[in-house]
Amino acid sequence: MSSATMTSKGQVTIPAKVREALKLEAGVRIEFVEVEEGKFQLMPATRSIRELRGMFHDAGRRPVSIEEMNAAIAKRAAESR
């Protein structure tokens, strides 16, 4: 198990074994995802937005227009007031 110590400025050096396992390099953004109360998962935020294309594709569903999206947003906003 790897460990690290936090500085007074809240900075932590990620141990080399962890950096290698996550393929982290200088300048890579890291996300801390809460998986349950008090427990976080460290994840590199290296994915391109382009990788998300088609992730929610449903062949049986028709595309929604911008106008329909805007109407749904406006309706939901009005309901939350």
Tens digits of residue pLDDT in 25-40: 888 888 898 999 999 9
CA distance 54 to 70: 21
What pLDDT does 9 receive? Answer: 96
What pLDDT does 60 receive? Answer: 85
The backbone torsions φ and ψ at residue 69, rounded to the nearest 5 degrees and listed phi first, read -65, -45
The lowest-confidence range among 19-23, 49-53, 60-64 is 49-53
Domain edges within the chain: 16-48+56-79
Mean pLDDT on 28-57: 83
3-state secondary structure of 8: coil
